[in-house]
Structure 1
């Protein structure tokens, strides 16, 4: 059986490798490894040209993590802590996720990917989560993942994927869903009330999580995506 093709969005950032220092389209290899181990064929999608035209060539899509979504996309002025905004990436991914949903393409959003999904459908974000929850637990320090449990809604697709109603996961985000977009259902919360997962209503498989499943060995989300992509 051929491997379903899973597109994964990526960063465009200055990077240094071997003897080179240059602007690079890059992605943490954990995403690629998880998709390959789940039986998919990973393909990296840079935010160039019009990635939305590729949805008919894909069997599934992952919107990966990254910098903040531009607050003008949801009608706000920038918070002083909002950063790493890449307008060209926002443009590409907002169009890509809308096209993917129209085609009922199996979809998984990760961290920024959940925020893009919410904004694409008309929702808004908390620009700096510590202002809301009063602690730094969702991003303890630069480059340091925080771990905390999230509670999954009973009967939700997210809960069925994990086969449980509580999971301990890796967090690294300072933004989160505020105004929930129409057509989304919240399916997980952190103990402090932060929205940690959403699902697209009336879609075979379209969900997004605020945490970083690619950093853990738990393959459930990637296996579920690839399984639905095979269909």
Structure 2
């Protein structure tokens, strides 16, 4: 958060945050959640005494949470509107983390923005705004209902999701809080799930040497007692299993 509201009391400062829901989701399975602050100075990214590789060696796996748009500059475009400029500094740092995790064989799970950034990391591109660039699509974000907004997704036959959720008949309802989405799929990525209504890509998997997975929805917002939305536990347990096996 580069320009926090003055009422927060941090005038002129940059805030880095860990959203409580995602921390509690990870903690729910007995794992510890830590925030990795960026290695950034006022003049842009720089390398200090602590390196990205040091961070990755200290963790078992990386979860990329949601937030500000991915910058179009990160996939070779200019923003179509000023408000879609995204956060280039965050992109650069998280891209470094992604590739360092791949080098060290640590699993990565991208959520919403994190899923989009994984696609960009592998050379893919994004729709800067679904409503503008895919006008036939359903609404994938609703300002009024926010995390209560949902839509159905179809699992790709034979996908990890289909194996993790064998009783969902390859379809489930998930939260939807995004106005951007994957346009061109990145190299060596496969589609794990798509929106049942408009085929917007909703989950991806890397066909590489380590576990790299992205979901467009917010599993941390799916409460266990909510039978109307996909149970988030199997996905988290699979990620943590991958983290344990990568040690």
TM-score by length of 1: 0.86
- By percentage of residues, which structure has more strand? 1
C-alpha offsets along residues 126-148 of structure 1, whole Å, 9 cap, x if unaligned? 11011204355210226713200
Structure 1 28/175 Cα, relative in aligned 2: closer, same or farther at 3 Å?
same
Offset at residue 166 of structure 1 (A): 1.3
Structure 2 CA distance, aligned partners of 1:73 and 1:46?
Answer: 20
RMSD of Structure 2 on Structure 1 (CA): 2.2
Structure 1 unaligned regions, length at least 5: 1-10
Offset at residue 120 of structure 1 (A): 1.0
Offset at residue 181 of structure 1 (A): 0.9
| Partner residue of 2:26 out of 35, 48, 52 | 35
Alignment of 1:181-192 (within 5 A): 181-191=186-196, 192=198
Structure 2 CA distance, aligned partners of 1:16 and 1:36?
Answer: 32
Partner of 1:44: 35
TM-score by length of 2: 0.81
Structure 2 unaligned regions, length at least 5: 41-50, 224-231
Secondary structure of the 1:220 match is helix
Partner of 1:172: 177
Structure 1 CA distance, aligned partners of 2:5 and 2:234?
Answer: 31
Alignment of 1:32-181 (within 5 A): 32-49=23-40, 50-80=51-81, 82-83=83-84, 85-131=86-132, 132-135=134-137, 137-141=139-143, 144-145=146-147, 146-163=149-166, 164=168, 165-181=170-186
